[in-house]
Amino acid sequence: MSDRAALKDQVFLRMALEISRLGTCCRLKVGCILLRPDGGLASGGFNGALPGMPHCTPDTCGPGMRCLHTSHAEENALSFCDGTISVAYVTDEPCLVCTRALVRRGARRVVFARPYTSIAEQERAERQAILDHFGVKWEQLELSL
């Protein structure tokens, strides 16, 4: 990978990290940046409650609890862009549902910083089958400071 390509990865992943700060989930704040096939910025999103719905509270969401109040960052980013995307930069490894949505819109490369550690084996296997079928590059990248 060229120095320029590595720099772009760092910048776009850092953008995802910055936008994640706007997330309203008490358990985990996630950000997503999407690129068009020409390399231009298509959209960004963070996880949070639907517009007009109450945000998470420590009683409804937190460590060890599954959050049911928020839309995922990938879902929100995809909702605010049109057309095909090619790359997704996400602070946290996407779940199966978000992987499907990203691939459906054209993503063939997904770059993330933190792994999804609590994923069930069946979900992991199905996600991997999709990635293999479509030839999606799935890359964990450490953010440099």
- pLDDT tens digits along 4-26: 999 999 999 999 999 999 999 88
Whether 135 maps to a domain, the answer reads: yes
Whether 116 maps to a domain, the answer reads: yes
Query: Measured on CA atoms in the order 39, 41, 46, 51, is the torsion positive or negative?
Result: negative
Whether 24 maps to a domain, the answer reads: yes
CATH number for 67: 3.40.140.10
| Beta-carbon contacts of residue 132 (< 8 Å; ≥ 6 apart) | none
Convert the pLDDT of each residue in 26-81 to its tens digit: 888 999 999 999 999 999 999 998 888 888 888 777 777 777 778 999 999 999 99
Token pair, residue 108, equals 């063939």
What is the Cα–Cα distance from 99 to 125, expressed in whole angstroms? Answer: 12
pTM (2 decimals)?
0.93
The count of domains in the chain is: 1
Whether 145 maps to a domain, the answer reads: no
**How far is CA 35 from each of CA 26, 62, 90, rounded to the nearest angstrom?**
27, 31, 12
Kind and range of the H or E run holding 114 = strand 109-114
